[in-house]
Chains A and B, each alone.
Chain A
Amino acid sequence: MKSNPRQNQVKDFTGLESEYLESIEGRRSLVGYLCMRTPVELIEAYGAVPIRIVSSPVAVSSGFNPIRNDACSFCKQVPELMKLDSYKYLSGIIAGSCCDQMRRTVDVLNETLDIPAIIYSAPRTYGQNASFFLNEMKAAFAKLADSLRLTIDENELHKAIKSRKQLRKLVNQKRYDGAISAPLIHKLAGSCLPAEKIIEFLTGLKPLPVNSDSVRLMLFGSIPSGKEILLIEEVGGYVAVDLTCLGDRVFEIKQNLPEEPFEFLYKHYIEHNNCPHRRSYAPLIDYAKQQIKRGAIDGIVYRSVKYCHPFGLAAKRFKEELGMPFLELDDDLTLQATGSFRTRLGAFVEMLEAQKRRKVAQV
């Protein structure tokens, strides 16, 4: 059977992660975190390993769930995820408050798990009183550390920040060169590995073969489940830009940030976080427009998780503002949705291919 270099990338990286987790087993605390408003460098500086809580097709609703069916499908899945092997060894959970549902999800975890689940305030608007929110973030981490008997190592913090900066730069460069596939970027975004190890892995990556006839798509929307990229590639599309919560947005390089470590982390993860739960949408729309230009995008696949208000209720607005062919998918994170997604993605890609052919013919 012919080997697929894109799949091999993911396989190799997953292997590396497993090895790492085995090597630290029982020696370091695993701290789960949700969303993009949590500075992983800070978790690392406390000597813990950051584990991003992400959607999984394996988590199937089993028995009682305190969250009702009309909640965001991802938030509703989180208590179920906690029963999986990947998360059942977590010592604690931390998250910066983003949308109302995520805030309440952490509250549910706090009530249902016997590990601390801590949420800290983060502003919805831009340019807010930074010192208040920075202190909220620090206090939350201190509280978690206190529960887990961890202490911060300032040198590790500096080192982690420096390494993550290098990682962001490298990821952007390799993405631009076509050496990192979209499925791999999801893995990188949620990886528990220290930045140095990821850098080491990425350094050797060579540009992947790309079919130049493929339509170039931007995946946008709520936290992905992993299946959407595979489906897009299956129907002949190529995800050139990924603006989901586990995509290129995680590696965005933000300019003019302060040097002081905590201020840097606050500005990077909290103040300059572009998510539609923030008011207003303008910075996210501007960023999306830049990425569309950079990635020479032909169309947008906008996938929102069912009942995810920030992305779901903004879909029409983004469609209008971005002014491109736009396929909107509403995912309830069930396997049953896969078939209809495949059909709709197939039709969308075919339409874009036909459009592309027409353009070439006109030229």
Chain B
Amino acid sequence: MISQKIRKLDNFELEENPRQIDFREWHRLFQKVPEELVENTRYFRDLPNAEWSQYLFPPSTHVVSGNRLLRKLKFDNSLASLRLWGFVMSEGERIYRAKQAGKKVIAVMGDLGAVTPLVYSFPNTVAFYPDCLWWTPFMMESKVLFDEAAKFGLGEDCCFVRAALGAYSKKAYFPKPDLCIGTVGATCDDMNAVMSEVEFLGYDIHYFELPHRHDKPQDVKRLKVFLSGQYEGLSAKLEHVTGHEFDLTRFEETISKVNRMRGAISDLKGMLGGAGSPLDSCVRRNDGRGSRRIDRRNAMGGIEMLNVEFAPLSYYGDLDECIDVIEDVRDTVKSRQTRSVGYPDQDIRLVWVTPPADPQLMNYIEGLGGMIVGSEYLINQTTPQILENGDPFDSLAESHLSGSLMGSMGYRTQLVIDQIEKSNAEGVIISGVFGSSHCPYETTPIVDAVRKKGIPVLAIDVVAPGKIMMQSQIFNRMEAFMESLKAARRYRGG
């Protein structure tokens, strides 16, 4: 029986003060992790005698399996972060293991986290997102997947999600899915093109149709009815594939867990983005013991938070374990904020818009003194609490309707503005993808709206791996941007 103390890391820290460390330091620090903790940090705890399911390893372990970019990244030095990285990096292995263990493996594409709660409502079923393989070429510092996609005609005119097609074709990045679900309609064209080619590779896709949202209150009802029907159709398909009938009790249990995870992520974002003052990295908080200063220095790295925010897409293949991993990160941040500790010299408050396929960019901005206090990563559909006691399909539909991309550009712009206001940000970074179907349209309205609020914006396009010259230009622009934000702070501070 695994004790709760081990399931939860219970704020066990290897170093007293938070800082960002490289993979070599993690390798050394890892020696201090108690053996018992390593042995009992496992996924698929429902499976008996799964000795192979340990995942608490230092990043250097994953460098060996090809994730070369890890050598260049800076990681948070908490055990919770180590656990998070281990959990995220073992997802590929986990879905292969799931297949070996007789679980149904479902590939979900195009919706970014909306249909996953339904998938996990079926027993012995795990989901994964081929779309998320877009960061694999960056992590591996290799163009193999892009080159493979190019053989099918998906070249540089297509977003980095084309890596998913390369992976389908290579047949070496995930096991053959028992079902592929593809959301089409008011989604990106790039992933649509990927899905078409995946069909030609011989995979059968269950399409989920997502209509355009007009962002008018009177449209919600009919969209909800339509989407509810889509969920019902998907449920029938999942019943067929898994051999299990849809079970309302199990569904409600799953939704309760999903909500718990979404709640933990929301708490985390709230803690990191809490209304601090740009002029003073400290705020005052009244906790019943009188007003006291709370240090608003960065309490968690941007990449770790990116991993956290992307957890509700697939739960990284294990919902129960994922909840614990996220809650560990949340507890670590809470503990750090209570102790008023954070990374030194990172206090320029930034909102990041659109997830960067290249995680190095976040490290770089942090190295220049930035802290990411808010984000809009195109996954707003994974943020609402899902109704637990309503009609199951209606509840999922309602949650889905908050999607970042299915409506107008004005809607997404407002999501960004909300993040700025919530977090009192001093600057915004938009990391777009050249040639994607939405970035060319959204960037200007977002930039305009943010500038109207008096907030400086840096809009960049993430550069494909290997284009060092172009990347150095991005770094250069980031440096100039951060300089200007620092100057603005000095100016405002008199």
Residues of A within 8 A of B (CB): 66-71, 76, 97, 99-101, 103-105, 107-108, 110-111, 119-121, 123-125, 128-129, 132-133, 135-136, 276-277, 279-281, 306-307, 309-310, 312-317
Contacts and interface: CB of A to CB of B under 8 A. Distances in A.
A100 B186 contact: yes
Given A97-B185, A125-B207, A313-B189, 11 more contacts: A67-B444, A68-B444, A103-B212, A104-B437, A108-B441, A124-B209, A132-B222, A132-B226, A279-B192, A279-B207, A313-B153
Contacts of A281: 196
Contact of B153 (A71, A104, A107, A317): A317
A277 B439 contact: no
Interface string B440-451: 111111000000
B441 A279 contact: no
A104 B441 contact: yes
A309 B189 CA distance: 6
A111 B440 contact: no
Contacts of A107: 408-410, 441
Nearest to B184: A124
B152 interface: yes
Contacts of A68: 439-441, 443-444
A71 B197 CA distance: 22
Q: Which interface residue of B158, B184, B434, B440 has the most chain A CB atoms within 10 A?
A: B440
B196 A104 contact: no
A276 B184 CA distance: 13
B78 interface: no
Contacts of B92: none
B192 A277 contact: yes
Interface string B229-253: 1000000000000000000000000
Contact of B197 (A110, A119, A128, A317): A317
A97 B407 CA distance: 12
Contacts of A132: 211, 222, 225-226
Contacts of A280: 196, 199
A76 B157 CA distance: 15
Contact of B196 (A71, A105, A317): A317
A67 B440 contact: yes
B435 A100 contact: no
Interface string B191-224: 0110111011000010101011000000000100
Given A121-B185, A121-B212, A123-B209, A101 B158 contact: no
A34 B185 CA distance: 17
B286 to A, nearest CB: 43
B209 A309 contact: no
Contacts of B190: 309, 313
A100 B199 contact: no
3 nearest interchain CB pairs? A316-B153, A71-B440, A309-B189
A121 B153 contact: no
Contacts of B438: 100, 104
Contact of A66 (B192, B211, B444): B444
Q: Which interface residue of A67, A68, A129, A276 has the most chain B CB atoms within 10 A?
A: A68
18 contacts: A66-B441, A67-B440, A68-B443, A71-B440, A97-B212, A99-B189, A100-B188, A104-B441, A105-B441, A121-B185, A124-B207, A132-B225, A276-B196, A279-B192, A279-B199, A280-B196, A314-B193, A316-B153
A123 B440 CA distance: 23
B188 to A, nearest CB: 6
Nearest to A119: B212
Interface string B154-197: 10011000000000000000000000001011111110110111
A276 to B, nearest CB: 8
B189 A70 contact: no
A133 B222 CA distance: 11
Interface string B91-112: 0000000000000000000000
Interface in B385-418: 408-410
Contacts of A70: 434-436, 439-440
Q: Which interface residue of A277, A309, A315 has the most chain B CB atoms within 10 A?
A: A309
Contacts of A317: 152-153, 196-197, 200
A307 B157 contact: yes
Contacts of A119: 212
Contacts of B187: 100
Contact of A309 (B182, B193, B197, B225): B193
Contacts of B225: 132
